[in-house]
Amino acid sequence: MSAPTQAPEVRDDTEHPEAAGYRARRTLPLRVEAMRQLRRRRTLLMGGVLAALPFILIIAFAIGGTPDGEDGGGGRGGGRINLMDVATESAANFAATSLFVSAGFLLVVPVALFCGDTVASEASWSSLRYLLAAPVPRVRLLWSKLVVALGFSLAAMVLLPLVALVAGTAAYGWGPLKLPTGGALAAGDTVPRLAIVVAFIFVSQLVTAGLAFWLSTKTDAPLGAVGGAVGLTIVGNVLDAVTALGSWRDFLPAHWQFAWADALQPQLEWGGMIKGTAVSVTYALILFALAFRGFSRKDIVS
């Protein structure tokens, strides 16, 4: 009599549901996503535009003569200082002026572009489903793309004042940051103050980043996500100009976009920047949460 056949061993996959060697946190590394985005033409084009702006301003000042501003700008801090009047006094003044003329709109564009194009472009190329089939978990995919998009947005904001400082030093020399209200900041204090300005501008643009990223997860059209974020940001600026709204404007991120002017005072003031940061971060966290929640339940067909 033959020995009874031994029943085949049944493997319990509930204990080890993942394939051998698979680690979700290792999928779509940040360096891979960063290199993919860095090689894209729109990234190089945006970097070129921001790097060229200081030189365009230098040429404009050389042609037009001494700058003569009429108003310090809109929003919180507008009218308190007029950086255009002292733009050519030193490299620090020139860098601050470059940030001033670009913070209201130009710096909105790279944030909307990097954050709004990142997911929608994958959907438009029909490559999003293949990324998820790799398999890249949805949360991991969004997290990698968001971190890289915010990193490129911050790099864009740092690039502009850095180029402006170098170009301004060559054109106007290095020196203290002269204030149109009188007085000046010592040359050693200008770089830390400009760093505070850049940091606040980045935080204030988190709302645009959140809008663009959320729209990017809702549409397959990158231009729609980017344009929608820019358009809604413009609407916020328009609403802030409606003085009839009174104290309601305090809840608009656009109302605090120039609060960084308080960092260019003899005595550093934090009040406006703290309020602006609180408003921007609150809106941004809500929008990022909506993006992750909606994408986790979305049927990916592209």
Strand partners, 78: 81
Q: Which residues contact 107 (CB under 8 A, 6 or more apart)?
A: 156, 157, 160, 201, 205
Q: Comparing C-alpha atoms, which of 101, 242, 94 is closest to residue 173?
A: 94
Work out the average pLDDT over 66-82: 49
Work out the average pLDDT over 223-230: 92
pLDDT of residue 88: 87
71 pLDDT tier (thresholds 50, 70, 90): very low
- Rounded to whole angstroms, the Cα distance separating 250 from 256 reads 8
Tell whether the model's pLDDT for residue 8 goes beyond 80: no
Q: Which helix (H) or strand (E) holds 177?
A: strand 177-178
pTM over 0.95: no
Q: Which residue has the higher pLDDT, 234 or 83?
A: 234
pLDDT of residue 81: 54
Work out the average pLDDT over 159-164: 95
Q: Comparing C-alpha atoms, which of 113, 79, 136 is closest to residue 208?
A: 113
**Apex 175 CA angle, 171 and 178, nearest 5:** 100
The DSSP letter of residue 90 is: -
84 pLDDT tier (thresholds 50, 70, 90): confident
Q: Which of 27-36, 202-211, 216-225 has the highest mean pLDDT?
A: 202-211
User: Based on the number of CB atoms within 10 Å of its own CB, is 15 exposed (0-12), middle (13-18) or buried (19 or more)?
Assistant: exposed
92: tokens are 């620090």
Percent of the chain with pLDDT over 90: 44
Q: Which residues contact 203 (CB under 8 A, 6 or more apart)?
A: 276, 277, 280, 281
Residue written as token pair 């770089």: 191
Comparing 80-94, 215-229, 252-266, the range with the smallest average pLDDT is 80-94
> For the chain, what is the mean pLDDT?
82
Q: Looking at the chain, how many residues does it have?
A: 302
Q: Comparing C-alpha atoms, which of 75, 82, 80 is closest to residue 96?
A: 82
Q: Which residue has the higher pLDDT, 134 or 284?
A: 284
Please state at what angle helix 138-172 crosses helix 271-296, rounded to 10 degrees: 150
Q: Is the peptide bond before 135 cis (omega within 30 degrees of 0)?
A: yes
28 pLDDT tier (thresholds 50, 70, 90): low
Q: Comparing C-alpha atoms, which of 241, 254, 250, 243 is closest to residue 211?
A: 254
Tell whether the model's pLDDT for residue 140 goes beyond 70: yes
Work out the average pLDDT over 246-262: 90
Q: Which of 146-150, 175-179, 298-302 has the highest mean pLDDT?
A: 146-150
Please, where are the H alpha helices in the chain? 30-38, 41-64, 91-103, 108-124, 128-132, 138-172, 187-204, 206-216, 222-240, 271-296
pLDDT of residue 287: 96
Work out the average pLDDT over 195-209: 95
CB 159 within 8 A of CB 50: yes
- Please write the tens of the pLDDT for every residue from 101-131: 898 889 999 999 999 988 888 777 767 766 6
pLDDT of residue 136: 67
Tell whether the model's pLDDT for residue 199 goes beyond 80: yes
